[in-house]
Structure 1
Amino acid sequence: MEGYQKVSIRHWAEEDRPREKMLKKGLSSLSDAELLAILIGSGSQKESAVDLARKILNDAHNNLNELGKVTVEALCKKYHGIGKAKAITIVAALELGRRRQLTVPLQRYQIKESKDVFALMHPLLSDLHYEEFWVLLLNQANKVVQQFNLSKGGISGTVIDVRLIMEKALYQHASSIILCHNHPSGNKNPSKADIVITKKLNEAGKILDITILDHVIIAENHYFSFADEGILQS
């Protein structure tokens, strides 16, 4: 059409750009074409990445299984703006999707009591000559959705960032948290610093509606549980 100019994605409203839309509204808000456009990255002078993605999907009858059969060579030959690198990215992403369907989901470890924490963390912490502080994030069924090493320290302590723990818990939509660290000295009893940080995290959890279920201290072949000793209730 005379006088018509294609509007680049970067000139779209921010909420309509695929990457920005994904960050603001989540993956489920994107159409297949928008997801494919993210893989493509950029279109050509004649059409945006989204327009190009719609064309590719249309030729595959808007069926991702059909698109998964398309080769790198076919994509490069048929579509202006699709070079080898973009074609490889599309084919690789579709192959990952296929393999995901074939993968058996991981069984998440369920925490029912303090000895379950000990069984999970003892192999990681029992032989260390320095302290490590770990955090377990759990869902509503008390299954571990993520475990991460928050800090490493010297023989007598580590540095704990309450905000970082809560930030990760919120990001993972965790319902509860279990804290765990080791005492290389072999003394399982909590230090004053252990008690202070546990209470501080417990208070932060109450504000954010994230329960601190326990803090387990591992010392060689035995452990101390804040929950078992009723300290978290004080």
Structure 2
Amino acid sequence: MLYIEKNYTLVEKAKAVTIAAALEIGRRRRGEEVLKISKIKSSQDAFELLLPSMGDLQHEEFWILYLNNANKVLLSSQLSKGGLTGTLVDVRLVMKQALELGAVGLILAHNHPSGTLKPSPADIEVTQKIKLASEALDIKVLDHLIITQKEYYSFAEHSLL
């Protein structure tokens, strides 16, 4: 939501609204372009698919991409919405959805509104819990991304999976 100080002139307020509208149009257009990604070939693909949904948020959210055997996205789903510094993840809900969809691969993702790309101990712990549960069901956790406004951190690329 756009907040404009009361003491600005009408022209200054109009400029601010125009800029905010242009940014929103750009964000939505990028989202439309991302919808063309039907197969995840890399961490970059997953980042580009999720960035419009998560990149500019002021609170943490945890999302999951459920993939079929060809790495095509069956579902992109928000699992939880949290506060400024964290969100809860229920591993049972992740596995339930994966089984219902017949998914064979998962890409986990959450955002860090602070812009920090370093995974926290809690980030590492939840990744390992989901990985352990998914292995029992013959489902692969392909990656876990930490997303900020402009970049991402990949657990797979840093050998944390």
Instruction: Report the TM-score, using the length of structure 1 for normalisation.
Output: 0.53
Corresponding residue for residue 91 of structure 2: 162
Alignment-mate amino acid for residue 141 of structure 1: A
- What is the CA–CA distance in structure 1 between the aligned matches of 2:118 and 2:149, rounded to whole Å? 12
Corresponding residue for residue 216 of structure 1: 145
- What is the CA–CA distance in structure 2 between the aligned matches of 1:213 and 1:130, rounded to whole Å? 25
- What is the CA–CA distance in structure 2 between the aligned matches of 1:206 and 1:165, rounded to whole Å? 13
Q: Name the SS for the 1:115 alignment partner.
A: helix
CA drift at 1:177: 0.5
Greater percentage in strand: 2
Q: Of 22, 37, 43, which residue of structure 2 is paired with 1:114?
A: 43
How many aligned positions are there? 127
Say which one has the larger Rg: 1
Provide, for residues 174-229 of structure 1, a one-character-per-residue CA deviation record: whole Å limited to 9, x for no partner. Answer: 01111011000000111110000000101111101000000011012011000111
- What is the CA–CA distance in structure 2 between the aligned matches of 1:194 and 1:107, rounded to whole Å? 29
- What is the CA–CA distance in structure 2 between the aligned matches of 1:184 and 1:134, rounded to whole Å? 14
1:187 equivalent to 2:126? Answer no
Alignment-mate amino acid for residue 140 of structure 1: N
2:37·2:49 contact (CA, 8 Å) conserved in 1?
no
- What is the CA–CA distance in structure 2 between the aligned matches of 1:123 and 1:147, rounded to whole Å? 12
2:57·2:113 contact (CA, 8 Å) conserved in 1?
yes
Alignment-mate amino acid for residue 160 of structure 1: V
- What is the CA–CA distance in structure 2 between the aligned matches of 1:192 and 1:160, rounded to whole Å? 14
Displaced runs of 4 or more, over 6 A? none
Q: Which runs of 5+ in 1 are unaligned?
A: 1-105
Corresponding residue for residue 30 of structure 2: none
Q: Which runs of 5+ in 2 are unaligned?
A: 1-34
CA-based RMSD of the aligned residues comes to 1.3
1:109·1:143 contact (CA, 8 Å) conserved in 2?
yes
1:131 equivalent to 2:65? Answer no
- What is the CA–CA distance in structure 1 between the aligned matches of 2:36 and 2:100, rounded to whole Å? 21
Task: Give runs of aligned pairs for residues 67-106 of structure 1, distance below 5 A.
Answer: none
Alignment-mate amino acid for residue 123 of structure 2: D
CA drift at 1:108: 6.7
2:56·2:148 contact (CA, 8 Å) conserved in 1?
no
Q: Of 94, 106, 119, which residue of structure 2 is paired with 1:177?
A: 106
Corresponding residue for residue 228 of structure 1: 157
Provide, for residues 39-60 of structure 1, a one-character-per-residue CA deviation record: whole Å limited to 9, x for no partner. Answer: xxxxxxxxxxxxxxxxxxxxxx
Of structures 1 and 2, the one scoring higher in RCO (CA 8 A, sep 6+) is: 2
> Measured at CA, do residues 120 and 108 of structure 1 come closer, stay the same or move farther in structure 2, by a change above 3 Å?
closer
CA drift at 1:107: 7.0
Q: Of 64, 69, 83, which residue of structure 2 is paired with 1:140?
A: 69
Greater percentage in helix: 1
